[in-house]
Every structure is written in C-alpha cells, then in structure tokens.
Amino acid sequence: MRKSFILSIAILFMIAICSLIHAERPSVQATEEKIGLEQQLNQLLGSEPDLKGALAGISIRKAATGEILYSRMGDIRLKPASNLKLFTAAAALSVLGPDYTFSTDLLTDGKVKKKILNGNLFIKGKGDPTLLKSDFDQMAKDLKSIGISEIKGDLIGDDTWYDEVRYSRDKNWSDETYYYGAQISALTASPDEDYDAGTVIVKVSPSAVVGEEPSIILQPATKYVELINHATTVESNGKKEITIERMHGTNTIFVEGTIPKNVRSTREWIAVWEPTLYTLELFKQSLEENGIQINGSLKSAATPINAQILKSYQSQPLSELLIPFMKLSNNVHGEILVKEMGRIVKGEGSWEKGLEVLESELAKFGVQTDTIELRDGSGISHINLVPPNELTSLLFSIQKEAWFDHFLHSLPVSGAPERMIGGTLRNRMLNSPAQWQVKAKTGTIASVSSLSGYVDTRSGERLIFSIILNNLLDHSKGKLIEDKIAVILAEHKNELDW
C-alpha cells in the first residue's frame, strides 16, 4: 500500500516536471525568435550608409496576438508621410461606414414652364471627389428629360457643405500647382478615374517639325484654364525637359522647355485655382452641349432653404473609393474624408473638427493620442508626428472590425502588376520572397520614407510592421531599405518552426 502510494506520488511529480518543461519551451523559442529577428534587422540597419545621420523607427508585432517582436525607436514621434492615411482610412470606415456615399444635388428656386426654368439652377456639392465630365453630361441629360431647355437665371455652385479653407495649414506653397496639393472644396471635379479632384491633365506631344511648339491637349477640355505654350520641339536626340506649372492665384498654366520629336508625350496633373468654379464651368459646358441655354452667369453661393431638389446623385461607396485613395495615395481624398467626418459628427466640415473626430476615433482603437500630432488627413504636413508602435497598435486593433476586409483590400500589394491592386507597391519587391506577401501603405515627403502594413511569412504567420525613416538625404534610398526589411519579415520563421 505504502509502495503504491509513493509510486503514485513519483508519477505525478514526473508529470508535473514534464508539464513545466513543455510549458517553458515556447517561451524559450519565442525568445530565440525575437533574438534571431533582432540580429538580422540590427545587422541590416547598421550596415546601411544611407541611414547615417537619419532616424529609423521600426515596430513589428504578431498579428495574432499583438506581441511586439521588434522595436527600434518604436515610441519616438516621427514624420509618417502618407502612412498617416492608415489612420484616416480606419477612422472613416469606423465613423462613416463602408457603404457611405457622397451626394450631389441639383436644385432650383424657380419653376419650369414651357421648357423654361424661370429661376436659378443650383448644384450643391457634398464632398464627392469622383465627379467626372461624363457625370455632368448625365446631369444635363436628366434635366433635358424633365423638360428643361432654357434657364432664365444663374448657374450657382454651392460648396458650403465644407468651410472655405482650401489648404491644410501646413501646405507648402510649392505643392499647390500639383495634384497632390489640390484645393479642397465640397464641390469639385476629377479629370479621370484616378479621381485626382480639382485637377486637369495637361498632355504635351511633340510636333513633327523641329522648332515648332508641341501640341497641348487638356483633359477634360475646358476653357477654365489658360495655356501659355513656350515649349519647343527639338531633334530626336535632344533633351526632354518639359515643365508644366500654374501661376499662383490664377488658372494660367505655363508649358516650357524642350521635347524631342518622335518621343512619347508627357503628362502632368495640374491643380486648378478654385475648384468650385471649375466644376461649374464643366457643368455649364455639359448643359450647352445638351441644348440647354443659360441666360445668367456662373456664381458661387449657398442654396436657399426653400429651393426644391430636381435630382440627387450618389457617389460610389466608401469601400470602393478607398481603392484609389490608398492604392494611389490620393491626398485630396484624405483631406475630404477628414472634413466629411467633421461635418457628419460635429456639424462642421473643417480640418479642425475633422481632426478632433479622427483623434477621438483613434483613441477607441487603443492609439495613445497624447503622443501623436495630427495636422491633416493625408500626411503631407511635416508637422504630423506618429510613433511606429502606435501605427502597429492601430493595425492590430482594427483586425476585429467588421469592415477590416475593406481596409486590407485597399492596401497596395507588393509586386502586383495591376495598378489598382499593386498601387504604389506594384514595382517593388519584384522576384523576391516578399512579392505578393506585403499589403502596406507607402509614404513619401521630402527627407521621409515610410511603409506600414501586413506581411505574410513563409511559415504562414502574419506580421504587422511599421517602418518610418526620417532625415534621409535621398528618400528613394529609404524604399530600398524598407524592401530589404520586408524580405527579412517574409522569410521569418515563428517559434513553431524552430
């Protein structure tokens, strides 16, 4: 009896010891996993000459648990560039929802009699950045179908859904000419399905005759901007040095430089001055092309309370708009989403109110908002400051949200050739273990390069990462460093593989 009791105790003791050993093993392996990753990354970062004098903030987490595997300056505030769009997209999906649409209304304060609208025609914008010339054509056809052939009144654009502030407060004056620095209005138009709202595309093609001016085509064709052509066609072996810029405070666009004959045309997306009036000009053109005469003038003003809606139009849902926003890193979309959140939640379509909503929403996802600085919704400001650990914290938390698949689908995919899949990562990590394995947001402003998102490793584990590089002398070199890190992560083994 005694021997049996002692034997039972011994067996239980051995089982307990084995359990402890077994329980300890993953912890040891996890430590080895961290050490191995740390050694690889530290060796890489220490050998990069382009990081000398620069700041490299890196945060890597397990997507399954949120555990931090690696942190280098992870809690240091750095300029995130367009990685800030991760915050904006997540907050917009949370606040507005993936099915949210922007509306545009046609209204009048008059009456239609014998095909004549005796009164003003209003087009009221509510932030839709996807309106194309073809949409205004459809609006004109719809007005024609309800019996309007003449408007005895003014054509008025109402952009009061947002405030009158056109630029975020840190916008550099040198950015205002280009698509990424376009003015923000609740009533705006885009030249193509990239939806770079508030811009025109200027296409310059060489003449067949050396010494002559190249030809210039506008998309959409509009008289709202004036083209001054000072460029020259040169011999085939000459230099292609074309500059296309708009003069500040005007819609005069200068085309200067040289373009060799027999070369491909060059294009530039140029931001217009005052997108509300630009939209009105396009709408007027569509009305006239569809046989609707306008007797009044073009104006910008608020719609009267007693105006009646003639027709209302809805944009594509937010889930679809996220594709050009995130894949192509569209700054205007980011700023519009901030103002829209301010309008819907606070009743004011301004950066101030929108950023309040953005910050409040981020706090719900566990982001420590007391350690970040938010100045816009696109990341173009050099005053934005975000620690890498806060970006990975957000990317971990939102995985449980019902709209997460829309968010993940909007991220650029490494080495995916299709433009609206690969986006800004389509030409990166090609023919490497990281091709197709990274879904992440890129970021670039002067001296800054960033990449944050998700990577699937060869062992089937998903990691969350944020790489923010500041004070670079050449931000293009930062992309190469980011790609090397992504490859290391794609090849990473978890503790189950040890």
Task: Determine the pLDDT at residue 35.
Answer: 75
Residue whose entry in the numeric block shows the structure tokens 């990317």:
395
Residue 178: left if φ>0, alpha if ψ -120 to 50, beta else—which one? beta
User: What tens digit of pLDDT does each residue of 144-158 get?
Assistant: 999 999 999 999 999
Distance, in Å, from the CA atom of 222 to the CA atom of 280, rounded to the nearest integer, reads 11
Answer yes or no: 397 catalytic.
no
Task: Determine the pLDDT at residue 8.
Answer: 57
Average pLDDT (343-361) is 98
User: What tens digit of pLDDT does each residue of 444-457 get?
Assistant: 999 999 999 999 99
pLDDT tops 50 at residue 26 = no
- Degrees (nearest 5) of the Cα angle 236, 240, 242? 140
Sequence-separated (6 or more) residues with CB below 8 Å from residue 30: 495
Q: How many CB atoms lie within 10 A of CB 221?
A: 10
Sequence-separated (6 or more) residues with CB below 8 Å from residue 208: 261
Least reliable range by pLDDT among 33-37, 118-122, 258-262, 276-280: 33-37
Q: Sign of the CA dihedral 377, 381, 383, 385? A: positive
Answer yes or no: 329 catalytic.
yes
Answer yes or no: 286 catalytic.
no
Sequence-separated (6 or more) residues with CB below 8 Å from residue 317: 98, 99, 100, 101
- Degrees (nearest 5) of the Cα angle 359, 364, 366? 95
Catalytic option among 59, 71, 85, 439: 85
Task: Determine the pLDDT at residue 20.
Answer: 45
Catalytic option among 59, 82, 393, 447: 82
pLDDT tops 70 at residue 234 = yes
* CB burial string 276-305: b at 16+ within 10 A, e below: bbbbbbbbbbbbeebebebeeeeebeebee
Which domains, from first to last, does the chain contain? 32-99+319-497 (3.40.710.10), 103-166+275-315 (3.50.80.20), 199-271 (no CATH)
Catalytic option among 190, 329, 447, 452: 329
Strand partners of residue 113 = 116
Task: Determine the pLDDT at residue 181.
Answer: 97
Token pair listed for 150:
């003449």
SS (H, E, C) the chain: CHHHHHHHHHHHHHHHHHHHHHHHHHHHHHHHHHHHHHHHHHHHHHCCHHHCCCEEEEEEEECCCCCEEEEECCCCCECCHHHHHHHHHHHHHHHCCCCCCCEEEEEECCEEECCEEECCEEEEECCCCCCCHHHHHHHHHHHHHCCCCEECCCEEEECCCCCCCCCCCCCCHHHCCEHHHCCCCCCCCCCCCCCCCCEEEEEEECCCCCCCCCEEEEECCCCCCEEEEEEEEECCCCCCEEEEEECCCCCEEEEEEEEECCCCCEEEEEECCCHHHHHHHHHHHHHHHCCCEECCCEEECCCCCCCEEEEEEECCCHHHHHHHHHHCCCHHHHHHHHHHHHHHHHCCCCHHHHHHHHHHHHHHCCCCHHHCECCCCCCCCCCCEECHHHHHHHHHHHHHCCCHHHHHHHCCECCCCCHHHHHHHCCCCCCCCCCCCEEEEEEEECCEEEEEEEEECCCCCEEEEEEEEECCCCHHHHHHHHHHHHHHHHCCCCHHHC
Average pLDDT (94-99) is 98
Task: Determine the pLDDT at residue 36.
Answer: 83
pLDDT band at 496 (very low <50, low <70, confident <90, very high): very low
Say if residues 79 and 382 touch (Cβ distance below 8 Å): yes
Distance, in Å, from the CA atom of 282 to the CA atom of 465, rounded to the nearest integer, reads 44
- What's the pTM? 0.91
Distance, in Å, from the CA atom of 94 to the CA atom of 360, rounded to the nearest integer, reads 11
Task: Determine the pLDDT at residue 497.
Answer: 42
Task: Determine the pLDDT at residue 12.
Answer: 54
Distance, in Å, from the CA atom of 160 to the CA atom of 372, rounded to the nearest integer, reads 30
Distance, in Å, from the CA atom of 187 to the CA atom of 343, rounded to the nearest integer, reads 14
Least reliable range by pLDDT among 30-39, 132-141, 374-383, 457-466: 30-39
